[in-house]
Structure 1
Amino acid sequence: MRAFNELSVLGDYMAIRYDIENNVLQIDGNDLHPQSLDGNFIGLCKNCNADVNSLSYHSYAENMIVIAKCSSCKTIFAIVYDKDWNWQDEETITQFFSLKDSNDLRTLDSIDKKRLATVFTPAETTAMYAKARGEKYVRQYLYRARKKYTDFEELFDVRLNI
């Protein structure tokens, strides 16, 4: 069985983490908020053969990634389905994070600079970086940038909260 990180949909190695409290999947620093929080039976755990039930559903690169948890051993899985809901692969999630801490400087640094430049002016970008570093920033530029967060999320499926 090929590894989840080798799927063509995910490209080369990607950091995959999950925020259990907010049901947010993070791939390479990009937050993917759930499209659904339905709790459905997904299958049987490959570790202990107990029921695995879904926690959240996330759209990614024309695929659906279902985050599911074993009812017995509590293992959490990322299960990839194609657009026709055919199983592609799965991986055990071993890295977790808190959404509260996800939008710091590391997250901002992980976003492609061309994407930032597409939506934000240089002054707005500078203000966001300064705020993320805890430095002095021009409030007006940060305010303008925050008004564009929704546009940025719609375009790139990345939610900012700086």
Structure 2
Amino acid sequence: MILFREPDLLLDDTKLSPVSRAQNRVGICTACDGDLLSLGYYKQAGRWLVAARCSACSRALLMVYGDDWSWIEDVPLVMAEGEGHAPARASLRVSEVPQERLEVVFTPAEIRDMIAFQEGRPYVRQNLYRARAKLDRFERLFGIRIEL
């Protein structure tokens, strides 16, 4: 069992402190397509470990990479009691945001596919991935958090 007790990782009897606690988007959750956000980066025995948590469903996992950052595996990560994530901010659906504001940051294809994703229609995954990478910029510019 691998336990995350902020900011450390507990691997059996070994406690690892993070090399970095930078919070970055590190992937897409396979359970719900939400953004995986890093909780910490760890170095152990010639490999990199990235603790991550889904911003949508709160699923936690440890992403294991080789020394050259080649992916090896993802393993479940257990969060220590009381290690909840920050309360979610109020967010809007894409269709509730004025079109003119969306067009400042997102391409027409990204806007189309964000709406399609929210409505449960077919969408191009790459467009959704690109749009998710721009969400922080959109929030900084307009103070609006978009729900995806």
Structure with more helix by fraction: 1
1:49 aligns with 2:27: no
**C-alpha offsets along residues 2-41 of structure 1, whole Å, 9 cap, x if unaligned?**
xxxxxxxxxxxxx31110xx31001112110000001111
Asked whether the 8 Å contact 1:18–1:97 carries over to 2, the reply is: no
Q: Match for residue 116 of structure 1?
A: none
Q: Match for residue 72 of structure 1?
A: 56
Q: Match for residue 16 of structure 1?
A: 2
Q: 2:42 aligns with which of 44, 58, 78?
A: 58
Q: Match for residue 15 of structure 2?
A: 31
Give the count of matched residue pairs: 82
Give the letter for the 1:93 counterpart. L
Distance in 1 between residues matched to 2:51 and 2:76, nearest whole Å: 10
Structure 2 unmatched ranges of 5 or more: 83-148
Per the normalisation by structure 1, the TM-score is 0.48
After the TM superposition, which residues 47-126 of structure 1 pair with which residues of structure 2 at under 5 Å, given as runs?
A: 47-94=31-78, 96=80
Q: Match for residue 24 of structure 2?
A: 40
Give the letter for the 1:16 counterpart. I
The alpha-carbon deviation at position 97 of structure 1 amounts to: 6.0
| Secondary structure at 1:90 match in 2 | strand
Asked whether the 8 Å contact 2:60–2:77 carries over to 1, the reply is: yes
**C-alpha offsets along residues 123-142 of structure 1, whole Å, 9 cap, x if unaligned?**
xxxxxxxxxxxxxxxxxxxx
Asked whether the 8 Å contact 1:68–1:79 carries over to 2, the reply is: yes
Distance in 1 between residues matched to 2:77 and 2:47, nearest whole Å: 18
Distance in 2 between residues matched to 1:64 and 1:32, nearest whole Å: 11
Shift in CA distance, 34/54, structure 1 to aligned 2, threshold 3 Å: same
| Secondary structure at 1:78 match in 2 | strand
Structure with more strand by fraction: 2
Structure 1 runs (4+) greater than 6 angstroms displaced: none
RMSD (Å) for aligned C-alpha atoms = 1.5
